[in-house]
């Protein structure tokens, strides 16, 4: 895949996987109010990530790999205390990634495709019965980590 297409894969993937992630989160948080609060945590984390991307930059492969690892952790984590910390990190990384993506030349072009692909994927997924949502989330996480490694390698080669 050319370097410019990676962000599309990541944003589309994030949206597709998010319902499963939410499903897992709702199961883990037991009550709606706690679920909502933990979600607020995600949002504030994202605001911080977006804001800080404009100040400090790191190779984009790093936040992508970290995102992947957090998604993979859903397989193993039960403690609400740990989940709440995961939420902050996840929000932060997504905010950071978004801020980076917006700055890319291809962003506007990809937004249209993003919505179309997400719509089609969700239609396809509506036919699948999900028993353990975190398996999907973790597979996606794994793909992100691979993706980050390939991105980093390609970048090194280019240099």
* Nearer CB in complex with another protein: 4/79: 79
Helix (H), strand (E) at residue 45: helix 32-53
| Binding-residue pattern over the window 1 to 40 for another protein, x denoting contact by CB under 8 A | -----------------------------xx-xx--xx-x
- Closest approach of another protein to the CB of residue 61, in Å: 23
- Closest approach of another protein to the CB of residue 53, in Å: 12
What separation, in Å, do the N-terminal and C-terminal C-alpha atoms of the chain show?
18
Task: Name the packing angle between helices 6-29 and 80-102 (round to 10°).
Answer: 160
Q: What is the dihedral of CA 145, 118, 100, 106, to 10 degrees?
A: 110
Burial 72-85 (b: 16+ CB within 10 A, else e): bbbeebeeeeebee
For the CA atoms of the chain, what is the radius of gyration? 16
Residues 6 or more apart in contact with residue 88 via CB below 8 angstroms: 41, 42, 44, 45
The residue ranges of DSSP E strands in the chain, in sequence order, are none
Task: Please report whether residue 84 would count as binding another protein according to CB under 8 A.
Answer: yes
Q: Which range, of 11-19, 80-88, 107-115, 123-131, touches another protein by CB under 8 A?
A: 80-88
Task: Please report whether residue 158 would count as binding another protein according to CB under 8 A.
Answer: no
* Nearer CB in complex with another protein: 7/141: 141
* Nearer CB in complex with another protein: 82/109: 82
- Closest approach of another protein to the CB of residue 26, in Å: 15
- Residues comprising the chain, all counted: 159
- Closest approach of another protein to the CB of residue 9, in Å: 28
The residues of the shown chain that bind another protein, judged by CB under 8 A, are 30-31, 33-34, 37-38, 40-41, 44-45, 47-48, 51-52, 55, 76-82, 84-85, 88
């Amino acid at each position: 895949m050319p370097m410019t297409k990676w962000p599309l894969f990541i944003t589309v993937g994030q949206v597709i996987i998010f319902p499963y992630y939410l499903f897992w989160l709702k199961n883990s948080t037991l009550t709606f109010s706690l679920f909502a609060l933990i979600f607020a945590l995600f949002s504030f984390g994202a605001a911080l990530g977006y804001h800080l991307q404009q100040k400090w930059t790191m190779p984009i492969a790093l936040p992508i790999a970290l995102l992947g690892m957090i998604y993979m952790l859903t397989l193993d984590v039960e403690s609400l205390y740990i989940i709440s910390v995961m939420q902050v990190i996840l929000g932060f990384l997504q905010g950071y990634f978004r801020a980076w993506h917006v700055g890319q030349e291809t962003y506007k072009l990809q937004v249209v495709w993003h919505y179309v692909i997400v719509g089609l994927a969700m239609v396809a997924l509506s036919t699948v019965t999900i028993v353990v949502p975190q398996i999907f989330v973790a597979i996606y996480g794994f793909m992100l980590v691979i993706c980050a490694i390939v991105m980093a390698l390609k970048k090194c080669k280019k240099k």
